[in-house]
Amino acid sequence: MSGDFAARIGTLRLLGHELRTPLTLIQGYLSLLADDDLGAEERRSACALMGKQCAEMNRLIDTFLDEKSEEEHLALASSQVSLPAAARATPARRSRR
């Protein structure tokens, strides 16, 4: 695995972890809200905390996207490709020989 690819995978794993934390809290508060014994003030508090966690997830996503937009962009160049030659070069094709 190339260093650049490994770094991207690491970044995505970190982002996933950072997003799961507020999601876990929201899931917990949603299960509390399903409880009929929860009072009005407790419901308001749970909703406020879930709103804060949603705002945190939005902030994390915005930060991630801002960092990605500041990175060097890959330039894509179009070129003609011989499909038969490309097919012959694939590993699956080679293993059949």
Query: Could you give the domains of the chain?
Result: 3-96 (1.10.287)
Q: Does 11 have pLDDT greater than 50?
A: yes
User: What pLDDT sits at residue 41?
Assistant: 93
> What DSSP character marks residue 45?
H
- Specify the higher pLDDT residue, 94 or 37: 37
Tens digits of per-residue pLDDT, 37-90?
Answer: 888 999 899 999 999 999 998 998 888 888 776 665 544 566 777 767 777 776
Return the structure tokens found at 66: 């801002």
Vertex 4 angle, CA 13 and 92, to 5°: 95
Q: Does 7 have pLDDT greater than 90?
A: no
Q: Does 27 have pLDDT greater than 70?
A: yes
Vertex 57 angle, CA 54 and 58, to 5°: 90
Return the structure tokens found at 91: 């590993």
User: What pLDDT sits at residue 95?
Assistant: 47
Q: What is the mean pLDDT of residues 12-23?
A: 87
Determine phi and psi for 77, rounding to 5 degrees: -120, 135
